[in-house]
Amino acid sequence: MANKRIEMNIRQTSINCYNEIKRDGLLSKRRLETFVAIMKIAPCTASEVQHSINYHNGGRDCMKRISELRDRGVVYEVRTRKCRITGKNVIEWDLTDKLPIDFKNPNKSKKQKQNEALESLRELYKNKDNSKVEDWKIVADLIKSI
């Protein structure tokens, strides 16, 4: 019965996001486990997440996963508050209801990176009248990464 109560507190947008993440394999096993724990108890602290899923190797691994989820845009810092586990003032985390940002494979060959940058530049040029500054920054970053 307790699980039913927890599920009722989860926002439908979070459930939809979770279903898409799981279906498409957008997060690794540990990141998904951390995401699910946050989804069930959000808003929460890293120690509360760690406590809810019993990380065996300490809080560093849990905090690392939360940081990775933050970097991928699926969790965000809400505020600082007193943790129910540690009693310390720490960051409280919640879900963004967005799908994770897919980082490009850093092991691409130089030729692959060049082709990707050229293709992006061609597309940007074709749509130059409708392009935004952010679009140009993305292409610039691709070129810098070569």
Question: What is the total count of domains within the chain?
Answer: 2
Q: For 102-143, write each residue's pLDDT tens digit.
A: 765 556 677 877 888 888 888 888 888 887 777 787 777 778
Give the CATH number, domain containing residue 66.
Answer: 1.10.10.10
Do 38 and 6 lie in one domain? The reply is yes
Whether 118 and 84 share a structural domain: no
What is this structure's pTM? 0.61
In a domain, 130, yes or no: yes
Query: 125 is in which domain, residue-wise?
Result: 110-144
CA separation for the pair 120, 142 (Å, rounded):
9
Give yes or no: residues 71 and 122 share one domain.
Answer: no
The Cα–Cα gap between 37 and 88 comes to 20
Q: Are residues 11 and 34 in the same domain?
A: yes
14 and 52 fall within a common domain: yes
Residues 6+ apart with CB under 8 A from 105: none
CA distances from 33 to 30, 52, 110 (A): 5, 11, 34
Nearest to 61 by CA among 72, 50, 45, 71: 50
**Confidence band (pLDDT; 50, 70, 90) for 7?**
very low
Reported as a pLDDT band with limits 50, 70 and 90, residue 6 is: very low
